[in-house]
Structure 1
Amino acid sequence: MTLFVGIDVSSKELETCFMNTDGDKLETLTVKNNLEGAAHLRDRIVALADKHAVSEIHIGLESTSVYSWHPAMYLHSDPTLQERHTKVFTMNPKLVSKFRETYPDLNKTDRLDAWVIADRLRFGRLTTTIVMQEQYVALQRLTRMRFHLIHNLTREKQYFLQNLFYKCNAFTTEVESSVFGHAILEMLSEKYSLDDIATMDVGDLADYLRDKGRNRFPDPENVARCIQKAARASYRLSKVVEDSIDLVLGTSIQAIRSIQAQLKDLDKAIEQILETIPGSLCLRSVPGIDRVYAAGILAEIGDIERFSDQAAVAKYAGLTWRKSQSGAFEAEDTKRIKSSNRFLRYYLVEAANSVKNRDEEFGEYYRKKYKEVPKHQHKRALVLTARKLVRLVDVLLRNGQLYTPRKKVTPAKD
């Protein structure tokens, strides 16, 4: 017999329902969502397992933000439960919600939610346990924080450019150098007025850029002339408005630099963990997959053995499409599944976009898919290329091998 344990998780409590293989409710239990409560729950699971002589234990929790993480990890790693062949599943709330719809007369309470989770476990067909080993969990925390910071940095740069338009509306059209280079940010943080910049000696401005840019400008005099041209062509602000814009720009520059410094610290920590994961070398052997993409993919997949095959990985990433067929009719235009890991999908699609530019086989596949349809060519071709990349990632990680591009056979000349 298999013991099914459904747990409805909240920030304060773990509402639990125990069910046997026939769907009979054996017991219910409510404990606090803390270490003491989880230990009591563990003891009750063990007692019931021994009482009913179960051969396997399946524990299911809804993936409710951070609240389910601690109990899932505790129950997964407990040696007493491991001895009894325990599998822990963190289930997508949408999966549980859809299953609940099969019981239209069921009330909505935490205890009944636990019963629904246990019953969904009993029906099976859950592709993988979502609990990962510690190094993957640590890597995932870092990569998701990096993902968060990158999006914050993008928003902050967009906000900076909006305010820069108030101060110097012609800057981005006249100056080809990046606004976010160290030298130009230093100049903008000095709170020079447009008249100060326009009347400054070109040589002095070029020397300033050369010094602040650490001699990285190939032609600082030309950049200085472009900046002065932009300053002369831009609208003038009143003193009170200009002062406020200078303060906003200075604050935004500090925010940008703070995020960039945080990213450097994260990248160092990510690199240290990657060195302990053998799969990192396998993924980084693929042209176009760098440290960032490899870390993001590994952090979300974890141990590849959690998945039965590459199709399960693709489904987890949301890179599969629903089939719509009735009688002799089969729809050609179908929708991609939405209940998936958005972080894994993001890293796979971004990696595919990079790989297609560096690997001949993936480049040819992308161009082939691009030409197949008249609309949304790039988006469709890129997602399909990401689906192809899943197969490669699965093979490399499962076999622990490095990537070797396929060699084209050239026909022999007569």
Structure 2
Amino acid sequence: MKYNQNHKIKQITESTLVIGVDIAKENHVARAQDARGIEFGKPMNIENSRAGFQRFRLWMKSLMREHAKPDVIVGFEPTGHYWMAFAQFLRHEGIKYVVVNPMHVKKSKELDDNSPTKNDVKDARVIAQLVKDGRYSEPQVPTGIYAELRNGMNLRDRLQEDLQRVRGRILNWLDRFFPEFHEVFKIWEGKAALMTLEAFPLPQEIINLGAEKILRHWKQEVKRAIGIKRANALVAAAKRSVGLTEGLSMARQELQSLMEQYQCLCGQMEQLMQDVEALLEQIPAVPYMMSIPGVGLVTVAGFLAEVGDLSNYTHPRQVQKLAGFNLRENTSGKFRGQTRITKRGRPKLRSLLYAAIRPMVAKNREFKQMHEYLTTRSENPLKKQQSMIALCCKLIRVLFSLGHKRVSYNGEKCLGHIRLQQIQNAA
């Protein structure tokens, strides 16, 4: 991502051996050629194992010696997660590797033979041709702390999905067996509500216990904001409940299983976020990035997990492009199409930034003023959604600047352009 097209092309010289690899789950296929596109040797099958990778290295070295090519570049499609082990082997061996866009492979496969045929051997040749023409990108594979952060935030996403699924199942259970529960507890994840669901969730159990025993049970853990009035309300709700009354034994077992899953997931999430916070403490730029009002630990951790080390980038536009926030426009003659974001790159990064900017527009003074200015300015006012996207790009620039320069957030500097514009409009 650091290099422009000219630089990419200049890296492929007469002394460069270009290898294209079609990635698969068990067996990859490699083909080699020179900078002009002349193919060397026969296609090679690479088993996805250490022995297969070593065979590939010996094959590559023999071609380099035979054709006097001291330099080599290996290109492949980032297919699923199957490419990661191969990329790690190349990195450890000091072999330069790049990735090509799968859409480019699909759209250029007919250039050589004018045929829509697709197979692994042909795709490897197409990939090598794309690399030769400089149509590739250099992936930013996270290492060290940043690799730990990415794995940790990916795990957090999966835990969130599992937790949301379990929450939905618990609500489903309540709707079937005790729909009046929500009249007593507006938030079922409160401490007293959870104690009720774990100990006596069924209406008949609540009636049998009575308000006094229920209150004594609650007071074991909850000392404030709960009293006999709430206990009486729970008993009254149980008496008028219209919940199902058949199959209660298995229903109780079902809820017990769901509550165990819920508690387990909550514990795992809490421990994970403690570990993520410990990782962030090792990155010097983090305190400066978190000095932005409205930006918290999850936002900074997710940003660095997706972007990696900020020193690998020279300009925030590179991060903007990585998130898919760069603009595209279709024009032809006098026709000018609507400008939209490309949505290429890392969707998780784009989603994270958009989720972060929404509360910032409401609570961060500077971003709120920028949002008002962008949507109400006299010339070319933006729609609210367009303004949110523009502010996502602004947040990228602010995070990038604070992380690079290691300075704290300054709201006046953030508003500098808008202040100047307002002064000019007033004049």
TM-score, normalization: structure 1?
0.85
What is the SS of the residue equivalent to 1:406?
Answer: helix
The CA deviation string for residues 275-323 of structure 1, in whole angstroms up to 9 with x for no partner, is 3333333322222222222111111111234445322222221223321
The CA deviation string for residues 324-375 of structure 1, in whole angstroms up to 9 with x for no partner, is 111122123x443244212212222222234334422222233445669xxx
| 48 and 272 in structure 1: CA distance in 2 versus 1, 3 angstrom threshold | farther
Question: What does residue 322 of structure 1 align with?
Answer: 328
| 171 and 45 in structure 1: CA distance in 2 versus 1, 3 angstrom threshold | same
Candidates 46, 53, 62, aligned match of 1:38: 53
Aligned counterparts of 2:147 and 2:326: Cα–Cα separation in 1: 25
Count of residue pairs brought into register by the alignment = 397
Aligned counterparts of 2:406 and 2:32: Cα–Cα separation in 1: 39
| 128 and 393 in structure 1: CA distance in 2 versus 1, 3 angstrom threshold | farther
**Letter of the structure 1 residue corresponding to residue 216 of structure 2:** D
- For 1:154-303, list aligned pairs within 5 A: 154-176=164-186, 178-198=187-207, 200-213=209-222, 215=223, 217-238=224-245, 240-303=246-309
Contact 1:127 1:312 in 2 (8 A): no
**Letter of the structure 1 residue corresponding to residue 349 of structure 2:** L
Aligned counterparts of 1:260 and 1:9: Cα–Cα separation in 2: 38
Contact 1:280 1:298 in 2 (8 A): no
Any gaps of 5 or more consecutive residues in structure 1?
none
Contact 2:20 2:74 in 1 (8 A): yes
Q: Does 1:340 align with 2:345?
A: yes
Instruction: Answer with 144-153 or 46-55: which moved more.
Output: 46-55
Question: What does residue 114 of structure 1 align with?
Answer: 124
Superposed displacement of residue 174, structure 1: 4.1
Contact 1:189 1:246 in 2 (8 A): no
Aligned counterparts of 1:354 and 1:78: Cα–Cα separation in 2: 46
Question: What does residue 103 of structure 2 align with?
Answer: 94
Aligned counterparts of 1:284 and 1:119: Cα–Cα separation in 2: 44
Candidates 18, 37, 41, aligned match of 2:32: 18
Contact 1:310 1:394 in 2 (8 A): yes
What is the SS of the residue equivalent to 2:44?
Answer: strand
Instruction: Answer with 162-171 or 202-211: which moved more.
Output: 202-211
Contact 1:7 1:114 in 2 (8 A): yes
**Letter of the structure 1 residue corresponding to residue 128 of structure 2:** A
What is the SS of the residue equivalent to 2:98?
Answer: strand
Aligned counterparts of 2:202 and 2:241: Cα–Cα separation in 1: 11
| 182 and 61 in structure 1: CA distance in 2 versus 1, 3 angstrom threshold | farther
**Letter of the structure 2 residue corresponding to residue 330 of structure 1:** R
| 336 and 52 in structure 1: CA distance in 2 versus 1, 3 angstrom threshold | same
What is the SS of the residue equivalent to 1:212?
Answer: coil
**Letter of the structure 1 residue corresponding to residue 93 of structure 2:** D
Q: Does 1:78 align with 2:93?
A: yes
Contact 1:6 1:118 in 2 (8 A): yes
**Letter of the structure 2 residue corresponding to residue 295 of structure 1:** A
The CA deviation string for residues 226-274 of structure 1, in whole angstroms up to 9 with x for no partner, is 4334324420422x33333322221111111111122123223322322
The CA deviation string for residues 359-399 of structure 1, in whole angstroms up to 9 with x for no partner, is 22222233445669xxx966544333222212222223333
Contact 1:17 1:115 in 2 (8 A): yes
Aligned counterparts of 1:102 and 1:308: Cα–Cα separation in 2: 35
Question: What does residue 353 of structure 1 align with?
Answer: 358
Any gaps of 5 or more consecutive residues in structure 2?
1-12
| 322 and 3 in structure 1: CA distance in 2 versus 1, 3 angstrom threshold | same
**Letter of the structure 2 residue corresponding to residue 227 of structure 1:** L
Q: Does 1:67 align with 2:67?
A: no
**Letter of the structure 2 residue corresponding to residue 5 of structure 1:** I
Instruction: Answer with 223-232 or 63-72: which moved more.
Output: 223-232
Q: Does 1:3 align with 2:17?
A: yes
- For 1:143-154, list aligned pairs within 5 A: 143-154=153-164
Question: What does residue 150 of structure 2 align with?
Answer: 140
Question: What does residue 29 of structure 1 align with?
Answer: 44
TM-score, normalization: structure 2?
0.82
Contact 2:22 2:29 in 1 (8 A): yes
What is the SS of the residue equivalent to 1:356?
Answer: helix
Aligned counterparts of 2:411 and 2:241: Cα–Cα separation in 1: 53
Identity among equivalent positions (%) equals 23
**Letter of the structure 2 residue corresponding to residue 359 of structure 1:** N
Instruction: Answer with 323-332 or 306-315: which moved more.
Output: 306-315
What is the SS of the residue equivalent to 2:288?
Answer: helix
The CA deviation string for residues 31-84 of structure 1, in whole angstroms up to 9 with x for no partner, is 2111222233234434444555557543222222221101111212324x3xxx
Candidates 402, 412, 422, aligned match of 1:406: 412
Contact 1:6 1:115 in 2 (8 A): yes
Contact 2:46 2:53 in 1 (8 A): yes
- Say what the alpha-carbon RMSD is for the aligned residues: 2.9
| 203 and 154 in structure 1: CA distance in 2 versus 1, 3 angstrom threshold | same
What is the SS of the residue equivalent to 1:29?
Answer: strand
Contact 1:61 1:72 in 2 (8 A): no
